[in-house]
Amino acid sequence: MVDNYGDVGVCWRLARELVTEHGITVRLWIDDLASARRLIPSLDPALVRQVVGGVDIRAWVSPLPDAAPGAVVIAAFAASLPEPFLEAMALRSPRPAWINLEYLSAEDWVAGCHRLPSPHPRLPLVQHFFFPGLDARTGGLLREADYDTRRQAFSREAFRQALELPPEQPGERMVSLFTYENPALPELLEMWSKSPAPVCCLVPEGRVLPGLAAHLGLSGLRAGDKILHEALTVCVLPFVEQARYDELLWACDLNFVRGEDSFVRAQWAGVPFVWHIYAQEEDAHLAKLQAFMTRYLDGVEPAAALALQEFWLAWNRGEGVAAAWPSFESRLPLLGAHGSAWSARLRESGELAANLVRFCKVEIE
Ligand code: TRH
């Protein structure tokens, strides 16, 4: 998919954690090395085999080159394994633990399906479903052991300087905008440009730029551009390597995120955020969106919960954001406090890489 990085983003994060925190040898097969390079700048898309950050990265080509299956085989996000590879898995002794790493969802059925076995119809192999999730009944979320250390070392001022952002204005709100194309974008920007307090909007390079440029009356935008539009300053940022994306979230007062991985990182950051969920056929994503909001807003003061729901739904619908903004904006301080508490609660649910290692070592025969 052009400009979709979530699947490789999660796999890369998991692979790095398994290597650095658990001392495991990891071979990562990727079918789109060019996209992966955005997140892993030292990757060479022309190489079928290379080691980056301790991970043995291979090009997933068809047919898959002969490679002996490891002790654990993880197929992520509905990737189906080639038949010859499955046959090699069946011949291995002992047979590999076979994990089907699923998408994240806050829906209730997830806890019931997490860790379920599914025998292969023909071969003597059993795959186990492993679901990321928001509570201890699931696999949890990825979170690197050095997250807190990195955050403590983070300086918002140094971040601004490194990106050559304009000096902070009194009362300014800094917002990051990592989102899919959205018909509500002009409405949002127009509102911010008329806002009584300055808004500094940081937009990573990506698919939203053409719409943004059109709204600003420009033929195009690229990293480094800074456009002042009344109370709104738009700064286009370079797409940074994945390890540095957290810094953007820490630097801002409000983050617009999307997909799966940036959505998770926004929750760890504990800063108020707006989730643009990846749209699925027959609006299947709306149930996922609602399930998350219900979980996330449990215990939040009703008016603030309603304000968040109305703004998120407007943003995902692509209309009505101006009407929903004032109420949402006035609740951002409260939602910020809630975001920190939510992030602390998530930690108690366990960490995905550690849970996966334990599951493979202890629970699968
Ligand atoms: O790229 P996405 O839209 O990915 C989506 C979802 O994962 C969705 O579930 C999937 O099915 C679809 O792709 C095909 O959004 P996501 O998940 O947030 O991934 C973006 C990744 O990019 C994430 O790992 C963070 C990273 N990133 C950087 O490394 N540098 C940057 O500057 C930015 C803005 C993001």
- CB 166, CB 199: distance < 8 Å: no
Q: Which residues line ligand 1 (CB under 6 A)?
A: 1, 4-7, 9, 39, 103, 178, 204, 239-242, 245, 258-263, 278
> How far is ligand 1, taken at its centre, from the CA of residue 264, in Å?
10
Whether 190 is catalytic: no
| 3-state secondary structure labels for all residues of 2-60 | CCCCHHHHHHHHHHHHHHHHHCCCCEEEECCHHHHHHHCCCCCCCCCEEEECCEEEEEC
Alpha-carbon gap, residue 257 to 245, rounded angstroms = 11
| Residue 44 appears among annotated catalytic residues | no
Determine which one of 187, 205, 260, 351 is catalytic: 260
Task: Kindly give the distance from the C-alpha atom of residue 9 to the centroid of ligand 1, in angstroms, as a whole number.
Answer: 6
Ligand 1: distance of its center to the CA of 5 in Å? 4
**pLDDT, tens digit only, all 365 positions of the chain:** 456 788 999 999 999 999 999 999 999 999 999 999 999 999 999 999 999 999 999 999 988 888 899 999 999 998 899 999 999 999 999 999 999 999 999 999 999 999 999 999 999 999 999 999 999 999 999 999 999 999 999 999 999 999 999 999 999 999 999 999 999 999 999 999 999 999 999 999 998 999 999 999 999 999 999 999 999 999 999 999 898 999 999 999 999 999 999 999 999 999 999 999 999 999 999 999 999 999 999 999 999 999 999 999 999 999 999 999 999 999 999 999 999 999 999 999 899 999 999 999 987 75
Secondary structure in 3-state letters for the chain: CCCCCHHHHHHHHHHHHHHHHHCCCCEEEECCHHHHHHHCCCCCCCCCEEEECCEEEEECCCCCCCCCCCCEEEEECCCCCCHHHHHHHHHCCCCCEEEEECCCCCCCHHHHHCCCEEECCCCCCEEEEECCCCCCCCCCECCCCCHHHHHHHCCHHHHHHHCCCCCCCCCCEEEEECCCCCCCHHHHHHHHHCCCCCEEEEEECCCCHHHHHHHCCCCCCCCCCEEEECCEEEEEECCCCHHHHHHHHHHCCEEEEECCHHHHHHHHHCCCEEEECCCCHHHHHHHHHHHHHHHHCCCCCHHHHHHHHHHHHHHHHCCCHHHHHHHHHHCHHHHHHHHHHHHHHHHCCCEHHHHHHHHHHHHCC
| pTM for this predicted structure | 0.96
